[in-house]
Chains A and B, each alone.
Chain A
Amino acid sequence: MSIEVRNLSKSFVDGHMAVRGVSFELGEGEMTAFLGPSGGGKTTILRMIAGLEKPSGGEIYISGQRVDHLPPQERKIGVVFQNYALFKHMNVFENVAFGLRVQKQRPDVIQARVRELLRRVDLQGLEGRFPDQLSGGQRQRVALARALANEPRLLLLDEPFSAVDAQLRKELRSWVRKLQQDLHITSIFVTHDQQEALEIADRVVVFRQGQLEQIGTPEEIYDSPDTPFVAAFVGEVNRYRTVIKNGVTDLGVLQFPAGNVPEGQEVVVIVRPENVELMPWSAAADIQGIVLATTFLGEFYKVDLELADLVRITAHVPKALGGALREQERVALQIKATKIFNVA
């Protein structure tokens, strides 16, 4: 089911504007990540789509049908809450069966459907357990099965992986992704973890202070960020503020071509550390630097360098090269890609 949000806004009783005129459209069967720092408004938008929060303005459409005036009961949207919100006084079976019982399904239908869902989420044999007898990962899968029981047209997940430890999180992530693809159900999940968003989403919507910063595929978001904020939020960056002078950025040795940015324009220059390539020093190199520190980060080394004019830059370099670098060693640099943003 496609979902469209038009000019959605939300201000709370205390006057706080949580969401300011957000519009976007998501395709059918896609997994979308709402990404942003806390307080960005992403959970509020999710709750408005679910009907748990009343918008102050704007419209929400699911498959072309306007739903923002409907109570949550009539929206056919499955929700997995951050803390799972399982019914503590019901066992696993009853939790999953709840939505079916509300629909007054026949007992044999309920039996069959719950069994099938529990098989799907790999919880057979735990029907009789109560939520407080389950591990975090199991609870999440019960919440997922419960949300899917009524065959919702849309699945919403609010920070679904935040309550489990790092190891389990990765496992659950790919597992949820696979389930979503198997069922081909349009899904949105809220996260503040950029890696999570890039890894399992078809599309990423970045929010900041209640506004939509950018919407795009993970590749677009990472490689062509619309704003310095998006660039910095979805990955590591070197960030410089300067002006355009003589058609290049006025950053000492870092003179990047300004393209069609006008002369004298204030700009922010973003360079991702993996786009900084280190080479053996040569006097002829355009950019030269001195190694200040190297930090081993498992898959690569993070190298802090100082260039001429005291400009500093961080590079991510492969293990083989990084391990051999010494402090105060002189190296040559090449910047493979940069991004220049006008400052308003």
Chain B
Amino acid sequence: MNWRIGISSFTYAWFLLSLLGPIGALLASAVDEGASRLWAELFRPEALFALKLTLLITVIVVVINTVLGILTALLIVRHPFPGVTVLNTIVDLPFAVSPIIAGFMLVLLYGPNSLIGGFAGEMGYKIIFALPGMIVATLFVTFPFMVREVVPALQEVGTYQEQAAQTLGASPWTIFWKVTLPSIRGSVFYGIVLTVARSLGEFGAVLVVSGNLINQTQSATLYVYQAAADFNSAGAYALSLLLCATSIVILVLMESMKKYQEGRQA
């Protein structure tokens, strides 16, 4: 059984170096700076603004992505139309395209010199280098999460419960709220959690479309990036720790959700 011990110790070592190590390093460096210093950094107006902006983007993205994701999944599973396989593939595009490139594509489409961006500019709205652009960019990178969670759930649930509801007189609207949605709620919750995690952490696409303007379009990850570049290590540590802690909380939440669902099924 020596090879077994070998493989498991290698896995643990790898796990330590690549996953736990960085978190440890961040913690250690942050502790070096001292808690009061970090606390102060968190409450700098620029940092607070960045956190609030990230929160705002996350909330808006979660709402839009949940609605659109469920609708898209329903379309793919329940109302397949010619070309649905193409749509199904395109859904995964954000997984394959680098966020930076995604951001670049959005600038080309919505930038001030583009047709759409130019028209919006005429109307007095700014998309790129403003909040709408950052939301669109985050929507782009998070789009697959909800769809990919809900599609298999809908397939597994099938249509018999909905048909039963039909024969009992329920309208499509009632069926969606009372039958369809509750039976996929676990997956929707999961999709939301993944979307939140990704929205909080998105950097590349947002960097390109935001312009990274302090107190205007600087989100939390952009703030960390800027602070690190400006050798403000305490500022970088403070927000990094906060984002990292949030991610861990989300992870734990996901795990407990999984356990809860498995418990219900048993």
Chain A interface residues toward B at CB < 8 A: 50-52, 71-75, 77-79, 81, 83, 85-90, 98-99, 102-103, 132, 146-147, 149-150
Contacts and interface: CB of A to CB of B under 8 A. Distances in A.
B169 A85 contact: no
A79 B170 CA distance: 14
Contacts of A79: 163-164, 167
A279 B217 CA distance: 102
| Central interface residue in A52, A77, A146, by most chain B CB within 10 Å | A52
Contacts of A89: 182-183, 185
B166 interface: yes
Contacts of B165: 87, 98, 102
Given A98-B165, A132-B265, A81 B170 contact: no
Interface string B169-199: 1110010001100110100000000000000
Interface of B: 160-161, 163-171, 174, 178-179, 182-183, 185, 264-265
Given A73-B167, A85-B161, 12 more contacts: A52-B167, A72-B167, A73-B171, A85-B163, A87-B164, A87-B183, A88-B161, A99-B168, A102-B170, A132-B264, A146-B164, A150-B168
Secondary structure at chain B's binding surface: helix, strand, loop or mixed?
helix
A139 to B, nearest CB: 12
B164 A81 contact: yes
Nearest to A132: B265
B168 A149 contact: yes
Nearest to B171: A73
B169 A73 contact: yes
Contacts of B160: 81, 83, 85
A272 B188 CA distance: 59
Contacts of A87: 161, 164-165, 179, 182-183
A147 B166 contact: no
A102 B169 contact: yes
